[in-house]
Amino acid sequence: KPRRLMNLNGLSVASAAEIYSLRPADIYLVHDELDKALGKVAIKLGGSARGHNGVRSCISALHSNEMTRLRVGIGRP
């Protein structure tokens, strides 16, 4: 059960990946996407964090950007 802030969640993801012998390509990140309309979803393989600090933390901790990402739109206020 993670006890870290979202911006540092990469440490928890990397720890779980090590425990379960997962490669970055085996990991699916589910995160909010401000630039998508509310409720819209998209799947993306790899790429940059695009300003999302939680994704940036995962890329840094895993030393890879090969994770599959499920981006869930939250829309702009």
Indicate the angle between helix axes 53-62 and 9-19, nearest 10 degrees: 40
Nearest to 59 by CA among 47, 44, 43, 45: 47
pLDDT digits (tens, 9 = 90+) for 16-63: 999 999 999 999 999 999 999 999 999 999 999 988 999 999 999 999
Question: Over the Cα atoms of the chain, what is R_g?
Answer: 12
How wide is the angle at C-alpha 15 spanned by C-alphas 13 and 19, nearest 5°?
115
pLDDT at residue 2, as a whole number: 62
pLDDT at residue 62, as a whole number: 97
pTM of the predicted protein model: 0.86
